[in-house]
Structure 1
Amino acid sequence: MIVLVATLVGVGVTASLGQWQLNRAATKQALHDTIEARDRLPALDNAALPCAPEAWSAQEQRPVALRGHWLNERTVWLDNRAMGGRAGLFMLTPLRLSLPTGQGADCAATVLVQRGWVPRDPYDRLRVAPPTKAEGEVLLQGRLVPAPSKLMELGTPESAPVGAVRQNVDMAALAQAWGEPLRPGSIQQVGDEQPPPSGGPKLLRDWWRPALDVGRHQAYATQWFAMAGVMVVLYMWFQWIRPWRRRQAPSA
């Protein structure tokens, strides 16, 4: 009885993990399909950029073409971000939008832009190059995405670092610190702004795509289901087939 219960528990756990991995794969495949479909839609300009959180979520992954001015002095860097298999930092800079006439009364005039990735300094993790600078109004091509994802960190928000290099950023806290309301999400920049910046680090923009993980989740699911199958086979062999064969063997 103990062997049977242990086998049922093991099969139940591994099969559940396999199904969970399949669900993760399906979720990311659906997100990938949404991204592919919205990539073919016209880019949103300043006038069409959503203001409310619900409208922003409904337009996520939509391409954008925005005009505005960089607030370079407010650039912050997100530490412990990987790209291309290497550890580094994401560069975040607010863009003050050049709002068209008639817009701006109930919309934040500034949006946070994920400008790209740079490798970490091997000798000083807090040392970063000055931000790229572009004088005057720029045209930015990008993709409408949620606020930058957060990593686990020790301590309370009050004890979190407030310097240029940070583990996480909170949109409301940034808006309060800057005294400048922000749109509810962020923009992932997909190419150099126009006119292009002068000086500063060369930014990598090989942003994560959900399709990259679909095959990995399916492989994990296969492994979990295989483990469940092995446990069933072993139980049948040692508890049924092997004893039956022994009973059928002729006596010496």
Structure 2
Amino acid sequence: MFHFNWKLTLFTVLLLPLLVYLGLWQLEREQEKRDTQIGFDAKAAEQPRPLADIDWGATEDNAWRRIQAVGRYDADRQFLLDNRINQSRVGYEVITPFQTDSGLLLVNRGWVAQGVDRQTLPDVAVTRDEVRIQGTIYVPGGDIMVLGQEEPAGQNPWPRVVQSLDVKQMSALLNETVLPFSVRLESGSPGLQQLNWQPITLSPETHRAYAVQWFFMAVVLIILYLIFSFRRPEN
């Protein structure tokens, strides 16, 4: 016989929708990751475009677009993007201004290992000659996450450690207008350190596995509710 327990019912009514929602949210994330990977693969198959041909207002269309540019690195004013992990090692991503005829471009030159301590910054020297680079436009998704406070390197503010790739903030620190999005160098480009980026962090299959877990917990919750509701009351 069904035994109504209002506390158990309230708990189930409140928790069950949450579990289902989390499962559906993970399925949405799975589809987003698949769309991102498809877009990345399509752009990777295209030939790089000259920087002058890029319409910087087409934000979504520019994500992962390959470009090529000729210019000079600003070796005296570089940024170190903090808390970048590569193969379980802590380090930085080197962001270097690149002067072109189309404007000042922030170029992500890849990953470098952290020094022996926070006060000892890695050597990020780069050629001052005119060079031709190729890379992909990086359009960040969502809000910018800040993990700490910006800190200069001792008495010399350059290279400057930053906690987020905030183009507007970097433009203000450089006291110059920069192009709206940064570019990640491709293999073979002058100035490249170590490649460590990928279009997606968690695979679509991982999100599918998380969704299955949430739905499984929802089913278990329903089963437990029915078991306790139909259990014979003790004397």
Q: TM-score, normalised by structure 2?
A: 0.84
SS of the residue corresponding to residue 95 of structure 1 reads: strand
Displacement over 6 Å in runs of 4+: none
Shift of 1:41: 1.8
CA displacement 1:67-122 (0-9 Å, x = unmatched)? 1110111111011122333321111001111x2xxxx5xxxx1100111011222x
Indicate the residue corresponding to 1:144 in structure 2.
137
SS of the residue corresponding to residue 207 of structure 1 reads: coil
Higher strand fraction (1 or 2): 2
Q: Does the Cα contact within 8 Å between 1:29 and 1:211 map onto a contact in 2?
A: no
CA distance in 1, matches of 2:170, 2:140: 12
Q: Which of the residues 189, 193, 205 maps onto 1:203?
A: 193
Shift of 1:14: 1.0
1:118-129 mapped onto 2 (5 Å cutoff): 118-121=112-115, 123-129=116-122
Identity of aligned residues (%): 26
Greater C-alpha Rg: 1
Q: Does the Cα contact within 8 Å between 1:56 and 1:184 map onto a contact in 2?
A: no
RMSD between aligned residues: 2.5
Q: Which of the residues 87, 90, 93 maps onto 1:87?
A: 90
Shift of 1:211: 6.8
Unpaired runs of 5+ in structure 1? Answer: 247-252
Unpaired runs of 5+ in structure 2? Answer: 1-5
SS of the residue corresponding to residue 47 of structure 2 reads: coil
Higher helix fraction (1 or 2): 1
Aligned length: 222
Q: Residues 96 and 57 of structure 1: is their aligned pair in 2 closer, same or farther, counting only changes over 3 Å? A: farther
Q: TM-score, normalised by structure 1?
A: 0.79
1:213 and 2:207 matched: no
Q: Does the Cα contact within 8 Å between 1:80 and 1:167 map onto a contact in 2?
A: yes
Q: Does the Cα contact within 8 Å between 1:69 and 1:138 map onto a contact in 2?
A: yes
1:167-182 mapped onto 2 (5 Å cutoff): 167-182=163-178
